Amino acid sequence: MSIGINEAKTVPDTIRDALSRCTGYSYWLEVSSPAFKTGGFYRASLGAVRYPEIPKLGEWYYRRVPVDECPHIPKSHVKEMASVKSAEWCASSLDAEFTDLNASNVIKVDLWDTAIATVPNQEMESRFAIGGDLAAGEMNVVSTSDMDISL
């Protein structure tokens, strides 16, 4: 028995949870074009064994297929899309990369990941912090000068 999920990027975690209750399957296959850097399809790709490595039993296997490996897609279409679409659209649609395309977040995941990866491991010298809450389109700013802030 196998479980196959098409358009896996759009399947909610509740459906994935329900499917994972099935027992007796030998294969679990998820196929989709990439989209947001959220959801089960994206999370599974993060720790997966990646092509061209050999698949390992019991581990996710990830194979990205960019447009240059799709001979059925005309080069003229690729060239036109690259000239009229955004870099993020091209990364998602042509290069088969997960992006924040059409996401409503203010801070893009790539920027956040870079900031987290480059945060110094020492206490901040200043005790001043500012935060913003953009929930429901309203801006609420909180600042403090007495907080003990360490990262």
DSSP states along the chain: -EEEEESGGG--HHHHHHHHT--S-SEEEEE-----S-HHHHHHHHTSEETTSPP-TTS-EE----GGG-TTS-HHHHHHHHHHS-HHHHHHHTS-----TT---SS-HHHHHHHHHT--SS--S---EEEEE-GGG--EEEEESS-----
Whether the predicted model's global pTM rises above the 0.85 cut = no
Average pLDDT, the chain: 82
Q: Indicate whether 150 pLDDT > 60.
A: no
Please report, for the chain, the start and end positions of each structural domain, with discontinuous segments joined by +. 2-103
pLDDT attached to residue 120: 64
Q: Indicate whether 58 pLDDT > 70.
A: yes
Q: Indicate whether 151 pLDDT > 60.
A: no
Which CATH number applies to 2-103?
3.40.50.300
| pLDDT one-digit tens code per residue, 36-45 | 888 899 999 9
